Amino acid sequence: MRSIMLAASLALAPVIPAFADSPEVPNDWPPLVRQALTAAHDGGEDDVWRFTLRADYGDAGEFTARFDSTLPEGEQWTLISPASASAMSAELRDQWNDLSTPDEDEAEAPAEGEDAEEETGQSFGIGGDGSGLFFSADTADLISGEVRELRRSGGRAVFAFAPNMSDGEDDAEADAFGEHLSGELTVSEGDAFVERIRIYAPASFKPHPIARVHAFEMVMDFAREDGLPGPIVRNFSTQIDISAMFQRQSQDISFTFSDVEYEAR
């Protein structure tokens, strides 16, 4: 059951996925949307990132940690609260260990004759290919289909779109999942950039014969920050309520990023 929950809330919700600094945008999309998507920015693999993450796993609890990409693998995350992982629930401690411990394939020693890679912050892959917290061109690739305006108020415009949940390759499972989802895009009118992407299920659906998704929502909030070349994610959250194998479970996850420091390399 846990693997199904993780697949639905994380794998099928591409966390800030990056292809080029200027995403290709259909000519028939609204001008404000086209303009906002030009704010997409892809950083470099060697760029330096530092930030504080507050990770809230609902009933399992929450933790706060500091990330520094200049530190060696296995030392980049520093737990701030609680004071020790031993104070966490077992489920939360598993999440912390998954986040702070390098993947085995990344931690393997280089083969004979190969040079070890210099620690330059490359391990930070939230955005993929070094885009980090930026609203990248690949993030924009989540937006597809017809984009139509829903409403305007308070200097913001909201548009409907058809979510693209696949990674551009043949991914029938993600495509099938995405067919049941709807999307909303919130754009700032003044300094045109994407403030929010919301992908949700308007109705219950069955992505698999033995599973039913009763509710699904993924939200990414972005903000402009002085000194940064593009908008960055400030909050990422997923909510899912699913039945599978005669069990029903729900999970709410929220990541909040603060005190962000960035240095282009």
- Tens digits of per-residue pLDDT, 17-54? 333 344 578 899 999 999 999 999 988 888 999 999 99
Contact 150, 184 (CB under 8 A): yes
**CA angle at 174 for the pair 177 and 248, rounded to the nearest 5°:** 50
pLDDT of residue 265: 85
Q: Is the pLDDT of residue 249 over 80?
A: yes
DSSP count for the chain of H helices, then E strands:
6, 11
Contact 110, 116 (CB under 8 A): yes
Residues paired with residue 183 on neighbouring β-strands, in sequence order: 161, 199
With beta carbons less than 8 A apart as the criterion, state whether 232 and 127 touch. Answer: no
Integer CA distances (angstroms), 176 to 93, 107, 191, 205, 225, in order = 33, 35, 35, 11, 36
pLDDT tens column, 128-178: 455 789 999 888 999 999 999 999 999 999 999 999 987 666 667 777 888
Inform me whether the pLDDT recorded for 9 exceeds 80: no
Smallest Cα–Cα separation from 23: which of 132, 137, 161? 137
∠ CA 226-133-124, rounded to 5°: 130
Mean pLDDT across the stretch 183-188?
97
